[in-house]
Protein backbone atom coordinates (compact mmCIF):
# COMPACT_ATOMS: atom_id res chain seq x y z
CA UNK A 1 0.00 0.00 0.00
CA UNK A 2 1.51 3.31 -0.97
CA UNK A 3 1.86 6.36 1.24
CA UNK A 4 -0.75 9.02 0.70
CA UNK A 5 1.88 11.74 0.76
CA UNK A 6 3.71 10.43 -2.29
CA UNK A 7 4.25 13.17 -4.86
CA UNK A 8 3.30 10.82 -7.68
CA UNK A 9 0.13 9.81 -5.88
CA UNK A 10 -1.89 7.30 -7.84
CA UNK A 11 -5.67 7.61 -7.96
CA UNK A 12 -7.61 6.02 -5.12
CA UNK A 13 -9.36 2.70 -5.65
CA UNK A 14 -13.15 2.74 -5.30
CA UNK A 15 -14.75 -0.28 -3.63
CA UNK A 16 -18.48 -0.61 -4.26
CA UNK A 17 -19.99 -2.97 -1.69
CA UNK A 18 -23.12 -4.76 -2.82
CA UNK A 19 -24.98 -7.58 -1.10
CA UNK A 20 -28.34 -9.02 -0.10
CA UNK A 21 -30.07 -7.46 2.90
CA UNK A 22 -28.42 -8.63 6.10
CA UNK A 23 -25.31 -10.05 4.39
CA UNK A 24 -23.23 -7.69 6.52
CA UNK A 25 -22.33 -4.81 4.16
CA UNK A 26 -22.32 -2.11 6.81
CA UNK A 27 -20.37 -4.27 9.28
CA UNK A 28 -17.92 -5.11 6.48
CA UNK A 29 -17.47 -1.44 5.56
CA UNK A 30 -16.83 -0.64 9.20
CA UNK A 31 -14.30 -3.49 9.41
CA UNK A 32 -12.30 -2.41 6.34
CA UNK A 33 -12.51 1.19 7.60
CA UNK A 34 -10.95 0.24 10.95
CA UNK A 35 -8.37 -1.98 9.20
CA UNK A 36 -7.24 0.97 7.04
CA UNK A 37 -7.07 3.20 10.13
CA UNK A 38 -4.90 0.61 11.88
CA UNK A 39 -2.25 0.51 9.15
CA UNK A 40 1.13 2.10 9.65
CA UNK A 41 0.86 4.81 8.41
CA UNK A 42 -2.93 4.94 8.71
CA UNK A 43 -4.84 5.22 5.43
CA UNK A 44 -8.32 6.52 6.32
CA UNK A 45 -10.70 5.90 3.41
CA UNK A 46 -13.31 8.25 2.00
CA UNK A 47 -16.72 6.70 2.70
CA UNK A 48 -20.02 7.27 0.93
CA UNK A 49 -23.23 5.97 2.44
CA UNK A 50 -25.83 5.50 -0.31
CA UNK A 51 -28.48 3.85 1.87
CA UNK A 52 -31.12 6.49 2.66
CA UNK A 53 -33.15 4.17 4.90
CA UNK A 54 -30.45 2.95 7.24
CA UNK A 55 -31.06 4.13 10.79
CA UNK A 56 -27.56 3.57 12.09
CA UNK A 57 -24.23 3.17 10.33
CA UNK A 58 -21.32 1.90 12.40
CA UNK A 59 -18.88 4.27 10.62
CA UNK A 60 -18.56 8.00 10.05
CA UNK A 61 -19.41 8.52 6.37
CA UNK A 62 -17.74 11.43 4.59
CA UNK A 63 -20.79 11.81 2.38
CA UNK A 64 -24.12 10.50 3.57
CA UNK A 65 -27.16 10.40 1.31
CA UNK A 66 -29.26 11.05 4.43
CA UNK A 67 -27.80 14.55 4.70
CA UNK A 68 -29.12 15.36 1.22
CA UNK A 69 -32.39 13.46 0.99
CA UNK A 70 -34.91 12.80 3.73
CA UNK A 71 -36.19 9.34 2.86
CA UNK A 72 -39.27 9.51 5.13
CA UNK A 73 -40.20 12.89 3.63
CA UNK A 74 -39.78 11.50 0.08
CA UNK A 75 -42.16 8.63 0.93
CA UNK A 76 -44.74 11.07 2.26
CA UNK A 77 -44.38 13.65 -0.48
CA UNK A 78 -44.52 11.18 -3.40
CA UNK A 79 -46.95 8.82 -1.66
CA UNK A 80 -44.56 5.86 -1.90
CA UNK A 81 -43.89 2.65 -0.03
CA UNK A 82 -40.49 1.88 1.53
CA UNK A 83 -38.78 0.51 -1.62
CA UNK A 84 -40.17 3.26 -3.86
CA UNK A 85 -39.01 5.77 -1.26
CA UNK A 86 -35.45 4.39 -1.24
CA UNK A 87 -35.35 4.28 -5.04
CA UNK A 88 -36.67 7.84 -5.40
CA UNK A 89 -34.27 9.11 -2.74
CA UNK A 90 -31.39 7.46 -4.64
CA UNK A 91 -32.63 8.96 -7.92
CA UNK A 92 -32.76 12.42 -6.36
CA UNK A 93 -29.28 11.99 -4.93
CA UNK A 94 -27.96 10.82 -8.32
CA UNK A 95 -28.94 14.17 -9.85
CA UNK A 96 -26.29 15.69 -7.56
CA UNK A 97 -23.69 13.00 -8.13
CA UNK A 98 -21.42 15.28 -10.15
CA UNK A 99 -21.00 17.35 -6.98
CA UNK A 100 -20.27 14.18 -5.01
CA UNK A 101 -17.56 13.22 -7.51
CA UNK A 102 -16.17 16.75 -7.31
CA UNK A 103 -15.81 16.39 -3.54
CA UNK A 104 -14.24 12.95 -3.88
CA UNK A 105 -11.78 14.23 -6.48
CA UNK A 106 -10.77 17.09 -4.19
CA UNK A 107 -9.72 14.51 -1.60
CA UNK A 108 -8.19 12.10 -4.12
CA UNK A 109 -4.64 13.19 -3.28
CA UNK A 110 -5.09 12.23 0.38
CA UNK A 111 -6.93 8.91 0.20
CA UNK A 112 -6.08 5.47 -1.14
CA UNK A 113 -9.61 4.09 -1.02
CA UNK A 114 -13.11 5.39 -1.66
CA UNK A 115 -15.74 3.05 -0.23
CA UNK A 116 -19.41 3.01 -1.24
CA UNK A 117 -22.01 1.33 0.99
CA UNK A 118 -25.15 0.66 -1.06
CA UNK A 119 -28.83 0.30 -0.04
CA UNK A 120 -29.84 -2.83 1.88
CA UNK A 121 -32.33 -3.79 -0.84
CA UNK A 122 -29.80 -4.99 -3.39
CA UNK A 123 -31.99 -4.57 -6.50
CA UNK A 124 -32.48 -0.87 -5.79
CA UNK A 125 -28.84 -0.32 -6.61
CA UNK A 126 -28.14 -3.14 -9.06
CA UNK A 127 -31.22 -2.78 -11.26
CA UNK A 128 -31.90 0.95 -11.18
CA UNK A 129 -30.78 3.61 -13.61
CA UNK A 130 -29.32 5.63 -10.74
CA UNK A 131 -27.26 2.64 -9.54
CA UNK A 132 -25.87 2.26 -13.06
CA UNK A 133 -25.19 6.01 -13.36
CA UNK A 134 -23.36 6.09 -10.02
CA UNK A 135 -21.33 2.96 -10.87
CA UNK A 136 -20.38 4.29 -14.32
CA UNK A 137 -19.52 7.74 -12.98
CA UNK A 138 -17.25 6.33 -10.27
CA UNK A 139 -15.68 3.76 -12.61
CA UNK A 140 -14.93 6.44 -15.21
CA UNK A 141 -13.10 8.60 -12.74
CA UNK A 142 -11.02 6.07 -10.77
CA UNK A 143 -10.13 2.36 -10.65
CA UNK A 144 -13.22 0.61 -9.30
CA UNK A 145 -13.87 -2.83 -7.86
CA UNK A 146 -17.18 -4.46 -6.88
CA UNK A 147 -17.17 -6.33 -3.55
CA UNK A 148 -20.16 -8.68 -3.49
CA UNK A 149 -20.86 -9.58 0.14
CA UNK A 150 -22.32 -13.04 0.74
CA UNK A 151 -23.92 -14.31 3.92
CA UNK A 152 -21.91 -17.56 4.07
CA UNK A 153 -23.96 -19.38 6.75
CA UNK A 154 -27.09 -18.82 4.66
CA UNK A 155 -25.49 -20.07 1.45
CA UNK A 156 -24.67 -23.63 2.41
CA UNK A 157 -27.68 -25.14 0.60
CA UNK A 158 -26.75 -25.82 -3.05
CA UNK A 159 -29.89 -24.09 -4.37
CA UNK A 160 -29.25 -20.91 -2.34
CA UNK A 161 -25.61 -20.96 -3.34
CA UNK A 162 -26.57 -21.25 -6.99
CA UNK A 163 -29.10 -18.37 -6.74
CA UNK A 164 -26.51 -16.18 -5.08
CA UNK A 165 -23.92 -16.98 -7.74
CA UNK A 166 -26.41 -16.28 -10.54
CA UNK A 167 -27.16 -12.92 -8.98
CA UNK A 168 -23.44 -12.17 -8.70
CA UNK A 169 -23.05 -13.22 -12.32
CA UNK A 170 -25.77 -10.80 -13.42
CA UNK A 171 -24.07 -7.91 -11.59
CA UNK A 172 -20.69 -8.83 -13.06
CA UNK A 173 -22.08 -8.78 -16.59
CA UNK A 174 -23.99 -5.56 -15.94
CA UNK A 175 -21.10 -3.57 -14.46
CA UNK A 176 -18.27 -5.43 -16.28
CA UNK A 177 -16.04 -4.33 -13.40
CA UNK A 178 -13.46 -6.42 -11.52
CA UNK A 179 -15.44 -8.47 -9.04
CA UNK A 180 -14.60 -9.95 -5.64
CA UNK A 181 -16.86 -12.47 -3.96
CA UNK A 182 -16.61 -11.77 -0.24
CA UNK A 183 -17.80 -14.74 1.80
CA UNK A 184 -18.67 -12.99 5.05
CA UNK A 185 -19.33 -14.36 8.54
CA UNK A 186 -16.67 -17.07 8.28
CA UNK A 187 -16.50 -17.02 12.10
CA UNK A 188 -19.88 -18.77 11.98
CA UNK A 189 -19.41 -20.82 8.81
CA UNK A 190 -16.07 -21.32 7.01
CA UNK A 191 -16.31 -20.81 3.25
CA UNK A 192 -14.27 -23.85 2.12
CA UNK A 193 -17.37 -25.60 0.82
CA UNK A 194 -18.04 -22.65 -1.51
CA UNK A 195 -14.49 -22.65 -2.86
CA UNK A 196 -14.72 -26.39 -3.50
CA UNK A 197 -18.00 -25.98 -5.39
CA UNK A 198 -16.52 -23.16 -7.45
CA UNK A 199 -13.33 -25.03 -8.30
CA UNK A 200 -14.94 -28.35 -9.11
CA UNK A 201 -18.46 -28.49 -10.46
CA UNK A 202 -18.61 -32.26 -9.78
CA UNK A 203 -18.32 -31.47 -6.07
CA UNK A 204 -21.28 -29.14 -6.42
CA UNK A 205 -23.27 -31.74 -8.35
CA UNK A 206 -22.51 -34.33 -5.67
CA UNK A 207 -23.75 -31.95 -2.97
CA UNK A 208 -26.84 -31.30 -5.04
CA UNK A 209 -27.54 -35.03 -5.46
CA UNK A 210 -27.21 -35.66 -1.74
CA UNK A 211 -29.66 -32.88 -0.95
CA UNK A 212 -33.01 -34.24 0.28
CA UNK A 213 -35.32 -32.73 -2.36
CA UNK A 214 -33.15 -33.58 -5.36
CA UNK A 215 -35.34 -36.49 -6.55
CA UNK A 216 -39.05 -36.68 -7.22
CA UNK A 217 -41.45 -39.39 -5.96
CA UNK A 218 -40.35 -41.74 -8.76
CA UNK A 219 -36.70 -41.36 -7.88
CA UNK A 220 -35.94 -39.19 -10.93
CA UNK A 221 -33.89 -35.99 -10.55
CA UNK A 222 -36.28 -33.05 -10.13
CA UNK A 223 -36.52 -30.35 -12.73
CA UNK A 224 -34.74 -27.91 -10.40
CA UNK A 225 -32.02 -30.43 -9.82
CA UNK A 226 -31.37 -30.93 -13.54
CA UNK A 227 -31.45 -27.19 -14.12
CA UNK A 228 -28.91 -26.55 -11.38
CA UNK A 229 -26.69 -29.33 -12.69
CA UNK A 230 -26.60 -27.64 -16.07
CA UNK A 231 -26.15 -24.19 -14.53
CA UNK A 232 -23.11 -25.39 -12.61
CA UNK A 233 -21.44 -26.16 -15.95
CA UNK A 234 -22.33 -22.69 -17.26
CA UNK A 235 -21.10 -20.97 -14.11
CA UNK A 236 -17.78 -22.78 -14.29
CA UNK A 237 -16.66 -20.22 -16.88
CA UNK A 238 -17.96 -17.35 -14.73
CA UNK A 239 -16.00 -18.48 -11.66
CA UNK A 240 -12.76 -18.18 -13.64
CA UNK A 241 -13.30 -14.39 -13.81
CA UNK A 242 -13.76 -14.03 -10.08
CA UNK A 243 -11.71 -13.65 -6.99
CA UNK A 244 -13.15 -15.12 -3.82
CA UNK A 245 -12.11 -14.36 -0.26
CA UNK A 246 -13.51 -15.44 3.08
CA UNK A 247 -13.78 -12.78 5.77
CA UNK A 248 -15.31 -12.24 9.14
CA UNK A 249 -16.41 -8.66 9.54
CA UNK A 250 -16.90 -9.48 13.19
CA UNK A 251 -13.34 -10.65 13.98
CA UNK A 252 -11.43 -9.04 11.11
CA UNK A 253 -10.26 -12.38 9.75
CA UNK A 254 -9.41 -12.36 6.03
CA UNK A 255 -9.46 -8.55 5.62
CA UNK A 256 -5.78 -8.45 4.63
CA UNK A 257 -6.50 -11.06 1.92
CA UNK A 258 -9.44 -8.96 0.80
CA UNK A 259 -7.13 -5.98 0.20
CA UNK A 260 -4.72 -8.21 -1.73
CA UNK A 261 -7.66 -9.16 -3.95
CA UNK A 262 -8.52 -5.44 -4.32
CA UNK A 263 -4.96 -4.73 -5.44
CA UNK A 264 -5.09 -7.52 -8.03
CA UNK A 265 -8.51 -6.25 -9.17
CA UNK A 266 -7.14 -2.75 -9.59
CA UNK A 267 -4.53 -4.12 -11.99
CA UNK A 268 -7.29 -5.95 -13.82
CA UNK A 269 -9.24 -2.67 -14.08
CA UNK A 270 -6.23 -0.94 -15.61
CA UNK A 271 -5.48 -3.82 -17.98
CA UNK A 272 -9.01 -4.72 -19.12
CA UNK A 273 -11.61 -2.21 -18.02
CA UNK A 274 -9.82 1.07 -18.77
CA UNK A 275 -8.94 0.25 -22.40
CA UNK A 276 -12.54 -0.93 -22.88
CA UNK A 277 -13.84 2.32 -21.33
CA UNK A 278 -11.63 4.40 -23.60
CA UNK A 279 -12.64 2.32 -26.62
CA UNK A 280 -16.33 2.87 -25.76
CA UNK A 281 -15.73 6.62 -25.32
CA UNK A 282 -13.90 6.85 -28.68
CA UNK A 283 -16.69 4.83 -30.30
CA UNK A 284 -19.32 7.20 -28.87
CA UNK A 285 -17.44 10.23 -30.19
CA UNK A 286 -17.00 8.57 -33.58
CA UNK A 287 -20.73 7.75 -33.76
CA UNK A 288 -21.54 11.40 -33.00
CA UNK A 289 -19.06 12.64 -35.61
CA UNK A 290 -20.41 10.14 -38.17
CA UNK A 291 -23.96 11.39 -37.54
CA UNK A 292 -22.80 15.00 -38.03
CA UNK A 293 -20.90 14.12 -41.21
CA UNK A 294 -23.90 12.21 -42.51
CA UNK A 295 -26.24 15.18 -41.92
CA UNK A 296 -23.78 17.51 -43.60
CA UNK A 297 -23.45 15.12 -46.57
CA UNK A 298 -27.19 14.94 -46.99
CA UNK A 299 -27.50 18.72 -46.77
CA UNK A 300 -24.82 19.17 -49.45
CA UNK A 301 -26.53 16.58 -51.69
CA UNK A 302 -29.89 18.36 -51.29
CA UNK A 303 -28.25 21.63 -52.24
CA UNK A 304 -26.70 20.02 -55.30
CA UNK A 305 -30.10 18.64 -56.41
CA UNK A 306 -31.62 22.09 -55.92
CA UNK A 307 -28.90 23.64 -58.03
CA UNK A 308 -29.34 21.03 -60.76
CA UNK A 309 -33.10 21.64 -60.83
CA UNK A 310 -32.90 25.39 -60.78
CA UNK A 311 -29.51 26.59 -62.04
CA UNK A 312 -30.70 30.20 -62.32
CA UNK A 313 -31.95 30.16 -58.73
CA UNK A 314 -28.67 28.72 -57.63
CA UNK A 315 -26.81 31.54 -59.38
CA UNK A 316 -28.96 34.15 -57.66
CA UNK A 317 -28.44 32.34 -54.43
CA UNK A 318 -24.74 33.06 -54.42
CA UNK A 319 -23.50 35.26 -51.68
CA UNK A 320 -22.22 38.54 -53.05
CA UNK A 321 -20.10 40.37 -50.51
CA UNK A 322 -20.73 43.69 -52.36
CA UNK A 323 -24.43 43.38 -51.73
CA UNK A 324 -23.94 43.28 -48.01
CA UNK A 325 -23.10 46.95 -47.83
CA UNK A 326 -25.99 47.96 -50.02
CA UNK A 327 -28.29 49.66 -47.51
CA UNK A 328 -31.30 49.68 -49.93
CA UNK A 329 -31.38 45.87 -50.02
CA UNK A 330 -32.41 45.77 -46.41
CA UNK A 331 -35.90 46.81 -47.53
CA UNK A 332 -36.15 43.82 -49.86
CA UNK A 333 -39.90 43.20 -50.01
CA UNK A 334 -39.42 39.46 -50.79
CA UNK A 335 -38.13 38.81 -47.33
CA UNK A 336 -41.00 38.41 -44.95
CA UNK A 337 -39.46 39.23 -41.62
CA UNK A 338 -41.70 41.04 -39.24
CA UNK A 339 -40.36 43.38 -36.63
CA UNK A 340 -42.86 42.66 -33.87
CA UNK A 341 -41.54 45.35 -31.61
CA UNK A 342 -43.20 48.06 -33.79
CA UNK A 343 -46.54 46.45 -34.62
CA UNK A 344 -48.51 44.73 -31.87
CA UNK A 345 -50.46 42.62 -34.39
CA UNK A 346 -48.25 42.22 -37.43
CA UNK A 347 -49.76 40.17 -40.26
CA UNK A 348 -51.30 36.93 -39.10
CA UNK A 349 -48.55 36.08 -36.70
CA UNK A 350 -49.79 35.75 -33.17
CA UNK A 351 -47.35 35.51 -30.36
CA UNK A 352 -49.32 34.03 -27.46
CA UNK A 353 -46.64 35.05 -25.04
CA UNK A 354 -47.35 38.70 -25.85
CA UNK A 355 -51.11 38.40 -26.29
CA UNK A 356 -53.02 41.42 -25.11
CA UNK A 357 -56.25 42.97 -26.28
CA UNK A 358 -56.03 46.05 -28.41
CA UNK A 359 -58.76 48.68 -29.04
CA UNK A 360 -58.75 48.33 -32.82
CA UNK A 361 -58.10 44.65 -32.84
CA UNK A 362 -61.62 43.92 -34.25
CA UNK A 363 -61.28 40.14 -34.09
CA UNK A 364 -63.83 37.78 -32.57
CA UNK A 365 -61.70 34.99 -31.16
CA UNK A 366 -63.55 31.64 -31.09
CA UNK A 367 -64.50 30.71 -27.54
CA UNK A 368 -64.77 27.15 -26.30
CA UNK A 369 -68.34 25.85 -25.87
N1 LIG B 1 -21.16 -13.56 13.16
C2 LIG B 1 -21.08 -12.55 12.30
N3 LIG B 1 -22.10 -11.70 12.18
C4 LIG B 1 -21.97 -10.69 11.28
C5 LIG B 1 -20.81 -10.50 10.49
N6 LIG B 1 -20.99 -9.41 9.70
C7 LIG B 1 -22.20 -8.93 9.99
N8 LIG B 1 -22.81 -9.68 10.93
C9 LIG B 1 -24.14 -9.50 11.49
O10 LIG B 1 -25.10 -9.59 10.45
C11 LIG B 1 -26.18 -8.70 10.66
C12 LIG B 1 -26.37 -7.81 9.44
O13 LIG B 1 -25.26 -6.97 9.31
P14 LIG B 1 -25.33 -5.54 8.59
O15 LIG B 1 -23.94 -5.04 8.51
O16 LIG B 1 -26.35 -4.69 9.22
O17 LIG B 1 -25.83 -6.02 7.18
P18 LIG B 1 -26.21 -5.17 5.90
O19 LIG B 1 -25.91 -6.03 4.72
O20 LIG B 1 -25.58 -3.83 5.97
O21 LIG B 1 -27.73 -5.11 6.10
P22 LIG B 1 -28.73 -4.01 5.59
O23 LIG B 1 -28.82 -3.03 6.73
O24 LIG B 1 -29.98 -4.78 5.34
O25 LIG B 1 -28.10 -3.40 4.40
C26 LIG B 1 -25.83 -7.94 11.93
O27 LIG B 1 -26.49 -8.52 13.01
C28 LIG B 1 -24.33 -8.11 12.06
O29 LIG B 1 -23.91 -8.06 13.40
C30 LIG B 1 -19.73 -11.45 10.67
O31 LIG B 1 -18.69 -11.40 10.03
N32 LIG B 1 -19.94 -12.44 11.59
Q: Looking at the CA of residue 184, tell me the nearest atom of ligand 1.
A: 31
Surface-to-core class of residue 70, CB atoms within 10 Å of its CB (0-12 exposed, 13-18 middle, 19+ buried): middle
pTM of the model: 0.75
**With 70 as the cut, is the pLDDT of residue 147 above it?**
yes
187 C-beta closer than 6 A to ligand 1: yes
Q: Looking at the CA of residue 54, tell me the nearest atom of ligand 1.
A: 23
| Whether the predicted interface score ipTM is above 0.90 | yes
Query: Could you report the per-residue pLDDT of 268-300, keeping only the tens digit for each?
Result: 999 988 888 888 888 888 888 999 899 888 888
Return mean pLDDT, the chain: 82
Q: Looking at the CA of residue 29, tell me the nearest atom of ligand 1.
A: 15
Query: Could you report the per-residue pLDDT of 194-217, keeping only the tens digit for each?
Result: 999 998 888 888 888 877 565 666
**With 90 as the cut, is the pLDDT of residue 352 above it?**
no
24 C-beta closer than 6 A to ligand 1: yes
pLDDT-based confidence at residue 53 (cuts at 50, 70, 90): confident
Count of C-beta atoms within a 10 Å radius of residue 365: 8
Q: In the chain, where does DSSP find H-type helix?
A: 25-38, 65-68, 71-77, 82-94, 97-107, 122-126, 129-141, 158-175, 192-199, 201-210, 223-239, 255-268, 274-309, 311-316, 321-324
- Give the Å distances, CA to CA, from 352 to 143, 310, 345: 53, 38, 11
Does residue 17 or residue 325 have the better pLDDT? 17
Compute the distance from residue 197 Cα to the ligand 1 centre, in Å.
24
The residue among 33, 37, 35 whose CA lies nearest residue 49 is 33
- pLDDT, residue 150, reads 96
246 C-beta closer than 6 A to ligand 1: no
User: Ligand 1 pocket test: which of 123, 126, 249, 255 has the largest number of ligand atoms within 8 Å of its C-beta?
Assistant: 249
The residue among 49, 44, 22 whose CA lies nearest residue 33 is 44
Architecture of domain 13-207+232-273: 3-Layer(aba) Sandwich (3.40)
Q: Looking at the CA of residue 251, tell me the nearest atom of ligand 1.
A: 31
Query: Could you report the per-residue pLDDT of 6-33, keeping only the tens digit for each?
Result: 456 789 999 999 999 889 999 999 999 9
Query: Looking at 74-88, 291-305, 338-352, which range is the least confident one?
Result: 338-352
**With 60 as the cut, is the pLDDT of residue 365 above it?**
no
120 C-beta closer than 6 A to ligand 1: yes
- What residues does each domain of the chain span? 13-207+232-273
Compute the distance from residue 24 Cα to the ligand 1 centre, in Å.
3
In angstroms, what is the C-alpha Rg of the chain?
A: 31
Pairing of strands 144-151, 179-184: parallel
- pLDDT, residue 159, reads 86
250 C-beta closer than 6 A to ligand 1: yes
Amino acid sequence: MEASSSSTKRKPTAIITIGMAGAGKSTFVQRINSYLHSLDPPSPPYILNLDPAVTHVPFEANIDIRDTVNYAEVMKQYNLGPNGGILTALNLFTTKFDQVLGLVEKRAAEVDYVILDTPGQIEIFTWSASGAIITDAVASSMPTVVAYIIDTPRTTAPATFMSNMLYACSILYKTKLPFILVFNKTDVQPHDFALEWMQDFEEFQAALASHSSSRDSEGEPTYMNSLMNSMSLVLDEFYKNLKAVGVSSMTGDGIKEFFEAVEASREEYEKDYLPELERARAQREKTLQDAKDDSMDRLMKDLEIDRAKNPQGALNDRWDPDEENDEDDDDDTDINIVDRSEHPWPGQYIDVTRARRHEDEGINWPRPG
